[in-house]
Amino acid sequence: MDFAWSDENDAFRTKVSDFLDQNLPNDWQAIARHGPGSREQTEFSLSFCPQLAAAGFLVPHWPAEWGGADRPTWEHFILGEEMWAAGEPRGGQYMNVNWIGPVLMRYGSEEQKHRYLPPMAAGRAIWCQGFSEPGAGSDLASLRTKALRDGDDYIINGQKIWTSYAGLAETCFLLARTGEGRSGIAVFLVPMDTPGIEVRAIPSLIGHGDIHEVFFTDVRIPSSCRLGEEGEGWTIISYALANERVGIPRYEMSSRELDAMVAELKSRGGFGNAAIRTRAAEAAAACDAARMLVYRVVDERARGEPPGTAANLARVAVVEADHKVTDFGMDFLPDCYSGSDHAAFQAHHERAIVTGIAAGAAEIQLNLVARRHLDLPKGA
């Protein structure tokens, strides 16, 4: 494969990285220590994303009609790589620009688009994604939260779990059941201050306030909150998830952490051993493989092709790269994972633990690769 960035792409990357160098505050590293999904980073995004928006670096790939600049898909991706390399200062708002906004543009009513897209493009909207439930994670289609029609309203009852950003979000992109099976699932855009919604933080190793349980008890919302038609929920989330799966270029963060680990080892005179160098090379190769597979998906998207199995392969490769880098650090720099001198390594390690679970378990992606890509029979 002959792959190279154009001069225009390189110039755009330099502009983004210069902007980050000049505008991230001095205490950014302390905020970034909490991780891209943290409450701290998401709160920070409410002041930083408006700056990105003003500089044209928040939604350049969106149509001008909705605050974008009709820039190519690849620029959006370069932007994502630079954000992740810097520790993701967009916090939870990366979801808005990557998939919630585009999904609303495709399936939303005019009223929904006018209500939700301008605040997203201005960098002032926090959303959460209400998909997983106790007993319905990998097997999402078995979700049980119900939306019962009552005149011109729906009444929602049920529970979501592991919901990121729910403690700060104004709106939930909620999946609920209006009937049986996959055709009985609908998407609702639910204001989080609607009476009957209760959010409880789940303490976890990645920090307090990162993930939540969300309870819905007789939550009454108007039918204008439904996105698309009643039977259309599964189609909408399939489209959304295809965008979400490669929307997080963690290989960029992993590859820069690996460089920092190698630099640390060199400064200690500890990078001469062939076994250590081989492991570093394997981790670097895994990051590059993930990058190339993700680029394949972006290329398909840029050509307007429908999402295929490349997205599943790419997601597995991203998880593997993350794990290889973190295993390298744990094996050869174990002392860096206690104390406070190497906060970035520690944050990377904590996130790598959950990377194969959040946004869909990696094993499920392997099942999809086996069936759709390798054509293996189900259950083989």
Ligand X SMILES: Cc1cc2nc3c(=O)[nH]c(=O)nc-3n(C[C@H](O)[C@H](O)[C@H](O)COP(=O)(O)OP(=O)(O)OC[C@H]3O[C@@H](n4cnc5c(N)ncnc54)[C@H](O)[C@@H]3O)c2cc1C
- State the catalytic residues: 244
Q: How far is the CB of 63 from ligand X (least distance, A)?
A: 27
**Residue 357 contacts ligand X per CB under 6 A:** yes
- Write the binding mask 193 to 222 for ligand X: x where contact by CB under 6 A, - elsewhere: -------------x----x-----------
CB 52 within 8 A of CB 90: yes
Asked if residue 358 binds ligand X (CB under 6 A), the reply is: yes
Please classify residue 338 by burial: count the beta carbons closer than 10 Å to its beta carbon, then call 0-12 exposed, 13-18 middle and 19+ buried. Answer: exposed
The correct pick among 71, 367, 368, 369 for binding ligand X (CB under 6 A) is: 367
Backbone angles phi, psi at 26, to 5 degrees: -60, -30
Q: Which of 42, 98, 145, 164 binds ligand X (CB under 6 A)?
A: 164
Among 105, 361, 368, 370, binds ligand X (CB under 6 A): 361
Nearer to ligand X, 96 or 164 (CB): 164
Tell me if 289 sits within 8 A of 313, measured CB to CB: no
Residue labelled with tokens 């050869």: 332
Q: Residue with structure tokens 């860096």? A: 336
- Binding segment for ligand X (CB under 6 A), chosen from 6-14, 122-130, 304-312, 325-333, is 122-130
Judged by CB under 6 A, which of 36, 91, 158, 360 binds ligand X? 360
The set of long-range contacts for 371-380, using a CB threshold of 8 Å and a minimum separation of 24, is: 372/308, 372/309, 372/312, 373/309, 373/312, 373/313
Q: Does 132 contact ligand X by CB under 6 A?
A: yes
Residues 10 to 69: which contact ligand X by CB under 6 A?
37
Task: Give yes or no for a contact between 40 and 27, defined as CB atoms under 8 angstroms apart.
Answer: no
The answer to whether residues 177 and 209 touch, using CB atoms and an 8 Å cutoff, is no
CB atoms within 10 A of CB 313: 21
Which among 60-68, 237-245, 254-262, 360-368 is the span making contact with ligand X, rule CB under 6 A?
A: 360-368
- Options 114, 208, 363, 376; binder of ligand X; rule CB under 6 A: 363
Stretch that binds ligand X, among 40-48, 113-121, 125-133, 292-300 (CB under 6 A): 125-133
By beta-carbon proximity to ligand X, the closer residue of 297 and 354 is 354
Q: Say whether residue 328 binds ligand X (CB under 6 A).
A: no
Among residues 93, 98, 163, 346, which is the contact residue for ligand X, using CB under 6 A? 163
224 binds ligand X (CB under 6 A): no
Give how many residues touch ligand X by CB under 6 A: 21
Give the CA count within 13 Å in the CB-facing half-sphere of 251.
27
Task: State the nearest-atom distance from the C-beta of 130 to ligand X, in Å.
Answer: 6
State which residue, 23 or 367, has the beta carbon closest to ligand X. Answer: 367
Residue 230 phi, psi (nearest 5): -60, -45
Q: Which residues does residue 162 pair with via DSSP β-bridges, in sequence order?
A: none
Neighbours of 45 (CB within 10 A): 26
Which residue, 239 or 271, has its beta carbon nearer to ligand X?
239
Q: Which residue is nearest to ligand X (CB)?
A: 137
Determine, following the binding rule CB under 6 A, whether residue 186 of this chain makes contact with ligand X.
no
Residues found near ligand X in the complex (CB under 6 A)? 37, 128-132, 137-138, 162-164, 206, 211, 354, 357-358, 360-361, 363-364, 367
